[in-house]
Copies of this chain bind each other. A is one copy, B any other.
Amino acid sequence: MARYPGLMLRILAEDHPAIGPGKAQLVALIDSTGSISAAAREMGMSYRRAWQLVEALNASFIEPVVMTAVGGKRGGGAVVTAFGRELVQQFRAIEDKASKAIATDIERLQRRMRKPPRAPQRQ
């Protein structure tokens, strides 16, 4: 889910996550599909979970991120607001900036990492 190797970054409001890689991807998919349920399907996520994430996003910001319509042509749908699009762009820019800023440090740490788990050590 992390878009940058070795790094997972979330922006917090107070102390709960306002946006992270998952929500960003979800909003991007809602933008391209025009539907929460289609985006959820593409992410292999239940519609309910996706809807809850959208609800949390809208609750975290003073402007709506996703607007929904129920009923009507094609049953309804969802559109990402200009702010929502901007939010995803900014989050990705932040990921990119942070990733670049600490890339060499992460690489240094990763040279000390192992892939598979290992048995605990004793003195």
Number of copies: 2
Q: Judging by beta carbons under 8 Å apart, are B8 and A120 in contact?
A: no
Q: Judging by beta carbons under 8 Å apart, are B12 and A8 in contact?
A: yes
Q: Judging by beta carbons under 8 Å apart, are A60 and B9 in contact?
A: no
**Neighbouring B residues of A13 by C-beta, 8 Å:** 6, 110, 113-115
CB distance from A78 to the nearest CB of B (A): 8
Query: Quick one: closest B residue to A99, CB to CB?
Result: B98
A8 to B117, CA, bound (A): 24
Question: Is chain A's binding surface mostly helix, strand, loop or mixed?
Answer: mixed
Chain A residues bordering chain B, tally (CB within 8 A): 57
0/1 string, A1-41, CB within 8 A of B gives 1 = 11001111111111101110000000000000000000000
Can you add 16 more A-B contacts, CB < 8 Å, to A19-B109, A68-B120? A5-B12, A6-B13, A7-B10, A9-B10, A9-B98, A11-B109, A18-B113, A55-B120, A59-B114, A61-B112, A64-B121, A68-B123, A69-B122, A90-B109, A97-B105, A100-B101
Chain A positions near chain B (C-beta within 8 angstroms): 1-2, 5-15, 17-19, 54-55, 58-64, 67-70, 79, 83, 87, 90-91, 93-94, 97-98, 100-102, 105-106, 108-110, 112-115, 117-123
